[in-house]
Chains A and B, each alone.
Chain A
Amino acid sequence: MSSVQIRDVRKSFGNFEVLHGVTIPIEDGQFVVLVGPSGCGKSTLLRMLAGLENITSGTISIGDRVVNNVQPKERDIAMVFQNYALYPHMTVADNMGFSLKLRNAGADEINKRVKRAAEILALTPLLERYPRQLSGGQRQRVAMGRAIVRDPQVFLFDEPLSNLDAKLRVAMRTEIKELHQRLKTTTVYVTHDQIEAMTMADKIVVMHDGIVEQMGTPLELYDKPENQFVAGFIGSPAMNFLKGTVRSNGVATFEGPNGVKLPLKSAPTASDGRPVVYGVRPEHFTIADDGAEAEIIVVEPTGSETQVFAKVGGEQVVAVFRERHQFNPGDKIRLKPDPSLVHLFDDATGKRLNA
């Protein structure tokens, strides 16, 4: 186990820069999730960490050793690939023991470590099978087993769950998290799925277009997104955004499209008439008589909650209620956001305005 320091790392393919100076400190034993939409550079960064891509500038260190020019095999990392990259012509046991074999470890040693990893992952009955004879979830576990056998300083996961069906994904999520709690190995995990990020991470790094938008614990990101991108990316269903202006004469309010008035806890200083984006999470709406008028478009009950799509001032918003309401499309309701949970962003820069 060791810490990882990524300092001002840039990556260019030809003249095209995909990472524009990324700095991420990772503590020993931390579970860090890099999350962002496709093309944000998260997988490239992970591959640079693994040594599969060159670092254009900046430094990456594992422990207190700068690894920019260290061969992948000397970095003491193990990686789980999106497609698992299991060797199709080797049994599960051989797949898991391959790295040890290349290191000229003795047969007994290989056997012992493969057995131990297989026990951790409940793979013991499958050791003699070939990858083709395994289900998706089992292959996923073999890929992790291959990493565990190495007993590396750092685990790298590159979208490991995206090839699994929804139910298995949830199960494996828990399994990976449990594994991390047990082994306490520093882990860097790349995903585009913010739910995976929220549920698994000690620290989430939200990336977008080759920069780090924000990093922090899952709840920090949820409660205080630093900008509109993070606010929209974290949380499902996504946060509602309404464009409008701040009115701070007397009671601070937000004036949205078509004169819709929405409450604010306090206005940012000297901000009367300032164009802003008003952000409110679907779960922070309540139904109240002094709320803004909304016309229901679609109602989607999921059992545990009800998602309501409605038009407020001509803009579509989504609200989520734990209680069961009898709504029908076309009904008029009054939605009121909780002013203490409202987010305000600068219209031009997308930066957070309220504390």
Chain B
Amino acid sequence: MADIALAPEKAKPKLREATSWDQLKHNKNWLGIWFMLPAMAFLVLFLAYPLGLGIWLSFTDTKIGRVGQFIAFENYEWLWDDGIFWLSIFNTLLYTFLASAIKFAIGLYLALLLNENMPFKAMLRAMVLVPFIVPTVLSALAFWWIFDSQFSIISWSLRHLGLISQNINFLGDTTWARVCVIFANIWRGVPFVAITLLAGLQTVSPSLYEAATLDGATRWQNFRYITYPLLTPIIAVVMTFSVLFTFTDFQLIWAMTRGGPVNATHLMATLSYQRAIIAGQLGEGAAISSAMIPFLLAAIMVSWFGLQRRKWQQGESND
């Protein structure tokens, strides 16, 4: 060891006072801001700006091709006295409530079913996802045909079975039209609910069910006391998203009914599009869109409180 010659140490660089630029270079928050910038730019450009612009437009009388003037709440005053606007709110609430509730029920049922051991499980799970991967407009067109007044396969089948003598006017009758669009929305939305709840179910340890079975729980009690309480956090997330998506639905309705017949299936989103783009009244359309904000905020608030970590989920704190 001793006879290894050590290379002469290089002269140390002289110490100098750290400039404020040096300090900034080593500041983690400064670096963090740079990393966040691209994402923030995206959010501002594609979310904050359109939202702000939409709200601003709702306070103007902008039309397509003409810069508007600030008119304060005039658009909203108009809408207040507009029966179709109120009808669209009613439709949207009805549509959202019924579709979400049924999607939840069917989705939960499917999730429980797919969580059981059965043959072809993987294939069945994949099949459940099919409605989800078909483009919305495509499935809407399919439903359009299924519910067509002349060529509907349902009417045809029922007629041949001798159950009805005349075609059902699915999309021409107000009640039927509502039923049809809600049905189509459920068909599209169930996979999301089912697969997400299934993922939640799979996080429940099987030994809990075994313990409960030994404790004397029936299958229903297993669900009521084990599955359901452990699933509530995921249910809250899924249903929040489901409600938001359903409330703001546009494609399905527009492709199937364009809001008809007699505005029976006009949702706020479709009405807004019709007034703003088709009719060119950008200000009024923006006001209808902006009117959705309080409803969506309310839905988010509900889920916000629903999503609060329950006491049993909290960490090791001893209080």
Contact = CB atoms under 8 A, between A and B. Distances in A.
B314 A132 contact: yes
Given A83-B205, A89-B230, A72 B315 contact: no
B315 A132 contact: yes
Given A77-B214, A98-B225, A88 B207 contact: no
Contact of A85 (B207, B225, B230, B316): B207
B216 A52 contact: no
B317 A79 contact: no
Given A99-B216, A103-B216, A85 B313 contact: no
Question: From DSSP, what is the main secondary structure of chain B's interface residues?
Answer: helix
Contacts of B251: none
Interface in A132-158: 132-133, 146, 150
B213 A52 contact: yes
A226 to B, nearest CB: 34
A102 B217 contact: yes
A99 B215 CA distance: 5
B318 interface: yes
A322 interface: no
Contacts of A83: 205, 207
A98 B205 contact: no
Contact of A132 (B208, B225, B229, B316): B316
The winner among B208, B217, B225, B312 for most chain A CB atoms within 10 A is: B312
B225 to A, nearest CB: 7
Contact of A87 (B214, B221, B226, B313): B226
Contacts of B55: none
Nearest to A131: B312
A222 interface: no
Interface string A49-87: 011100000000000000000001100011101110101
B221 A102 contact: yes
A130 interface: yes
Contact of B211 (A51, A81, A130): A81
Interface string A177-214: 00000000000000000000000000000000000000
Interface residues of B, number: 25
Contacts of B221: 102
A103 B315 CA distance: 32
Contacts of A50: 210, 214
Contacts of B316: 132-133
B217 to A, nearest CB: 6
B239 interface: no
Given A102-B216, A103-B216, A132-B314, A81 B210 contact: yes
Interface residues of A, number: 27
Given A89-B230, A98-B225, A133-B316, A72 B205 contact: no
B236 interface: no
A172 interface: no
Contact of A89 (B213, B215, B229, B315): B229
B79 interface: no
B215 A73 contact: yes
A79 B217 CA distance: 14
A90 interface: yes
A78 B214 contact: yes
Contacts of A131: 312
Interface string B285-319: 00000000000000000000000001111111110
Interface string B200-229: 000001011011111111000100011001
A63 B315 CA distance: 44
Contacts of B215: 73, 98-99, 102, 146, 150
Contacts of A73: 213-217
A160 B318 CA distance: 24
B207 A81 contact: yes
B216 A85 contact: no
Given A79-B211, A102-B221, A88 B312 contact: yes
Given A85-B210, A88-B230, A132-B315, 17 more contacts: A52-B213, A72-B214, A73-B216, A73-B217, A77-B214, A79-B211, A82-B207, A85-B205, A85-B208, A87-B212, A88-B312, A90-B312, A99-B215, A102-B215, A132-B313, A133-B318, A146-B211
Q: Which 4 A-B pairs have the closest CB atoms?
A: A73-B216, A99-B215, A85-B211, A85-B207
Interface of B: 205, 207-208, 210-217, 221, 225-226, 229-230, 310-318
12 contacts: A50-B214, A52-B210, A73-B216, A81-B211, A82-B207, A85-B205, A88-B312, A99-B214, A99-B216, A130-B311, A132-B313, A150-B215
Interface of A: 50-52, 72-73, 77-79, 81-83, 85, 87-90, 98-99, 102-103, 129-133, 146, 150
